Amino acid sequence: MLLPLPVTTDPRPGTHTLTGVTTLGSDPACAGVARRLRETLSGSTGLPLPEAAAPDATVALTLDPALPAEGYRLRVRPDRISISGGTPAGVFHGVQSLLQLLPAAVYRRAPVTAGPWTVPCVDIGDQPRFGWRGCMLDVARHFVPVAGVLRFIDLLAAHKLNVLHLHLTDDQGWRVQIRRYPRLTEVGGWRAESMVGSRQHERFDGRPHGGFYRQDDIREIVAYAAERFVTVVPEIDLPGHTQAAIAAYPWLGNHPDQPVPVAARWGASRRVLNVSDETVAFFRHVLDEVMELFPSRHIGIGGDECIKDEWRASAALQRRLGELGLRDEDEMQSWFVQQFQRHLAANGRVMFGWDEILEGHPPPGATVAAWRGPALAVAAARAGHDVVACWDSSAYLDYRQSDSPDEPVPVGTVLTVADVRAFDPMPPGLPAELRHRVLGAQCNLWTEHADSPRAVDYLAFPRLSAFAEAAWSPGSAPPWDGFDERLTAHLRRLDALGVEYRRPDGPLPWQRRPDAPGWPRDRADRDAELAALTRNVRQPDGPA
């Protein structure tokens, strides 16, 4: 009943029961993993699990360099449990499988039963299909306090996901402290009100909303995630989705004499950055502080949904086009993005952006989050970019989960648990020699319509559980191999973890939002919209 499905599972006769004399030991490199396992097990079972040398321990965590870095081998016998991993990350993933073999009450923080704490004997050999297995959490539209982010990291780690992409800035809020530019959070960190329901209905709640992470908050989040082998990838959106920054520093915009507030309306603002040298320098300074806080190899710059009306109407920008020898506004966006690609590369980092950065032919080297479909993933790979697959038709967890009118704020097309489980991050039509370009996949959770942790839970789960299997388990496995039955068992674990997921038969009464109308879409309309959005992306002639 494991989820995600391991590569191989070989049941053995007998069981192993954890008792008051069970000991726990590890190699020195796995001491942190052992400490967290002891905290988890002792909290829920009340067992002391005293430390012993790994060769003599009842539960032993060790390294085996012959295994893949994130791979593990779990062996349960009546007298002993051993978990070996290629690295401590692999051992950590093996621990997650061990916890799933125990009763679901093992996920509670205090004992609610006396046991028995019995594990079936088994041999498991496992490793992930992809190295990037992530989730984007949008904390710009609705702020998620630090404790909520830490809880979300725990849930990602329990599903063997290893990337948290934090969407930190947008038109509706700036959520990270930048010492050099304090107004980004003093002004940009809150808005006067928020929309209620989809933007097409023009309803507002009249209630201020705000919040931001101080730099020590970010350090705590990053360190907490690292202990669970989750990398936090920040995103500072440029050059669109920047009205909160322009509200704080109007000279960053194209109409500095026309101040704007932080956006209260959902969707992409038409207020975008100007492309002056001063603006480029401003955001280089911002990214310098971001790089101080986030050690991740990838740094996100967004690059999506830049509405160029202000640029077309700006005499200053049109002069800039001529000075730089650029043909149009798409090439200007590419030039602007390249300034930060070079700055990040000079600091040993890799730029991470949505697939709009392909417009205007940027140089190879960035990693592209392909959200507008597998064709964009193929285009990115052919152009010499690494790819993270996250197309909206399979991985946008804010989309409605059924056609029922009871779905809270139903937006987008229907995306069921089964749809997410069917997601294959390897795009069809990608030549074999370019498949190494697909680093992996992520699901994306936009929070316009998720204003509380309860609402985030409802949108994320159990679809995030299905995504975890799509990103981890072998692509050649039998179709889902008992997935529905395994998910039913997994829901009991989510219950023990306190996750307010969507039930299979629909939302509970308090999960509905009759006060917040949505905007359902059908697949044909969405496909037509995406076709229009991708008209500026041209496929290269052959593999890069």
Question: Catalytic positions, please?
Answer: 170, 241, 305
Rounded Cα–Cα distance for residues 187 and 169 (Å):
13
Under 8 Å CB-to-CB from 117, ≥6 apart: which residues?
17, 18, 19, 41, 45, 47, 102, 103, 106
Q: Return left, alpha or beta for 139; rule: phi > 0 is left, psi -120 to 50 is alpha, else beta.
A: alpha
DSSP3 helix / strand / coil % (the chain, rounded to 5): 35, 20, 40
| 283/239 Cα distance (integer angstroms) | 10
Cα distance between residue 138 and residue 172, in whole Å: 11
* CA neighbor of 394 nearest in space, from 366, 368, 413: 413
Residue with tokens 């996949």, as numbered in its chain = 441
Euclidean distance between CA atoms 469 and 429, whole angstroms = 23
Q: Is 122 left (phi over 0), alpha (psi -120 to 50) or beta?
A: beta
Is the CB of residue 502 less than 8 Å from the CB of residue 458? yes
Strand, coil or helix: 503:
strand
Joined together, the tokens standing for residue 156 give 């990602």
Give the span between the Cα atoms of 504 and 269, in whole angstroms.
36
Q: Secondary structure of 255-273 in the HEC alphabet?
A: CCCCCCCCCCCCCCCCCCE
Radius of gyration of the chain (CA): 24
Exposed e or buried b per residue across 342-376, where buried means at least 16 C-beta atoms within 10 angstroms of its C-beta: ebbeeeebebbbbbbbbbbebeeebbbbbbbbbbb
- Residue (of 123, 132, 50) closest to 438 by Cα position: 132
The torsion of the CA quartet 105, 107, 111, 113, rounded to 10 degrees, works out to: 10
CA atoms of 490 and 287, how far apart (whole Å): 40
